[in-house]
Chains A and B, each alone.
Chain A
Amino acid sequence: MSQLVSTKKTSSIKRKKAISKTTAYTALTVLSIIWIIPLIWMIIQSFAGPEGSKGKLFPTSFSFHWYAELFTNETYPFWRWFLNTLVIALICLVLSTFFTIAMAYVMSRYRFKGRKKLQSLGMILGMFPGFMSMAAIYYIFKSLGMAGDVAWWKMLIALILVYSGSAGLNYYVSKGFFDTVSKSLDEAARIDGATNSQVFFKVILPLSKPIIVYTALMSFLGPWGDFIFSSYLLGNETAAWTVAVGLYRMITKDPELYYNTFMAGAVIVAVPITALFLGLQRFFVEGITGGAVKG
Chain B
Amino acid sequence: MASLSLKHIYKVYDGGVKAVNDFCMEIEDKEFIVFVGPSGCGKSTTLRMIAGLEEITAGELMIGDEVVNDVEPKDRNIAMVFQNYALYPHMTVRENMAFALRLRKDLSEEEIMARVDEAAKKLDIAQFLDRKPRALSGGQRQRVSLGRAIVRSPKVFLLDEPLSNLDAKLRAQMRTEISKLHKQLATTFIYVTHDQVEAMTMGTRIVVMKLGVVQQIDTPKNLYDYPGNKFVAGFIGTPQMNFFDATLRKVGDEVEITFANDRKVLVPAECLVKAQSKYFDGETVVTLGIRPEDVHYDDEFVAAHPKTALDTSVGIIEALGSESIVYCELDPNSDSISDSGTRLVLKVDPRIQLSVDQPIKVALDPTRIHLFDHDTEVSIMPRVPAVNLLQGKVKGGKVDFGGIKFDLPKALALSDGEYQFAIPSDAFRFDGQGANEEIAEGDPKHTVPFDEVPEKYRKKAFVGAICPLPHSEFAHEVPGGALSVEVKGVETIGKTKLLRFDFGGAPVFAIGNQDFRDDLKKINTDIDWKKVSVAGGEELPALNLFNVLSAKMDKERTGKKDFNFGINVEGKIFYCTEYVQQKLFNAAGRKAFDIRLDVDFDPYSVKLAEDGISAVIDSIVDYGAESFAVCKVGDKIVNVYLREGDNVSAGDSVFLALDVSAVGIVEADRGIRII
Contact = CB atoms under 8 A, between A and B. Distances in A.
Contact of B74 (A192, A291, A294): A192
A207 B132 CA distance: 13
Interface centre among A185, A189, A290, A293 (most CB of B within 10 A): A293
A89 to B, nearest CB: 28
Interface in A171-213: 182, 184-185, 187-194, 198, 202-203, 206-207
B625 interface: no
A192 B100 contact: yes
Interface of A: 182, 184-185, 187-194, 198, 202-203, 206-207, 288-295
Please list the 7 inter-chain residue pairs (A to B) with the smallest Cβ-Cβ separation, ordered nearest first: A291-B134, A291-B133, A192-B100, A293-B84, A292-B89, A193-B74, A290-B134
A293 to B, nearest CB: 4
B300 to A, nearest CB: 50
B234 interface: no
Given A189-B99, A192-B103, A198-B103, A291 B73 contact: no
A194 B103 contact: yes
B53 A187 contact: yes
A292 B87 contact: yes
Contact of B89 (A193, A194, A207): A207
Interface in B83-100: 83-90, 99-100
A194 B99 CA distance: 9
A189 B82 CA distance: 12
Given A190-B53, A291-B133, A292-B133, A185 B86 contact: yes
A191 B84 contact: no
Contact of B148 (A192, A203, A295): A192
A110 to B, nearest CB: 14
Contacts of B52: 191
Nearest to B48: A187
A289 B82 CA distance: 16
Interface string B68-81: 00001110001110
A294 B164 CA distance: 11
B84 A294 contact: yes
Interface string B125-142: 000000011111010010
A292 B73 contact: no
Interface string B295-337: 0000000000000000000000000000000000000000000
A203 B165 CA distance: 23
B590 interface: no
B104 interface: yes
Given A190-B74, A191-B73, A291-B135, A184 B100 contact: no
9 contacts: A184-B84, A190-B53, A190-B72, A190-B73, A193-B104, A292-B88, A293-B82, A293-B86, A295-B84
B82 A188 contact: yes
Looking at B88, B99, B133, B152, the one whose CB has the most chain A CB atoms below 10 A away is B88
Given A192-B74, A192-B99, A192-B148, A187 B86 contact: yes
Q: How large is the interface on B (under 10, 10 to 19, 20 to 34, 35 or more residues)?
A: 20 to 34
Contact of B103 (A185, A193, A289): A193
Contacts of A295: 84
A103 to B, nearest CB: 22
Nearest to A185: B86
Given A192-B148, A291-B141, A184 B86 contact: yes
Most A CB within 10 A of own CB, among B89, B133, B138, B148: B89
Nearest to B82: A184
A206 B86 contact: no
Contacts of A187: 51, 53, 73, 80, 82, 86
Given A194-B103, A291-B141, A294-B138, A185 B88 contact: yes
A189 B152 CA distance: 13
Nearest to B135: A291
Given A291-B132, A291-B135, A293-B85, A191 B90 contact: no
B314 to A, nearest CB: 42
B84 A182 contact: yes
A293 B74 CA distance: 21
A190 B84 CA distance: 16
B165 A289 contact: no
A289 B72 CA distance: 27
Interface string B161-178: 000010000000000000
B88 A288 contact: no
B50 to A, nearest CB: 11
A153 B520 CA distance: 98
A190 B72 CA distance: 9
Contacts of A203: 88
A276 to B, nearest CB: 23
Nearest to B104: A193
Contacts of A189: 88, 99
Nearest to A184: B86
B51 A191 contact: yes
Contacts of A188: 80, 82, 86-88, 148
Contacts of B72: 190
Interface string B21-63: 0000000000000000000000000000001110000000000
A157 B132 CA distance: 43
A265 B434 CA distance: 98
Contact of A288 (B51, B73, B90): B90
A193 B100 contact: yes
A289 B78 CA distance: 26
Q: Which of B79, B82, B104, B133 has the most CB of A within 10 A?
A: B82
A223 to B, nearest CB: 30
A292 B133 CA distance: 7
A85 to B, nearest CB: 34
A295 B133 CA distance: 13
B155 to A, nearest CB: 13
A234 B304 CA distance: 105
Nearest to B74: A193
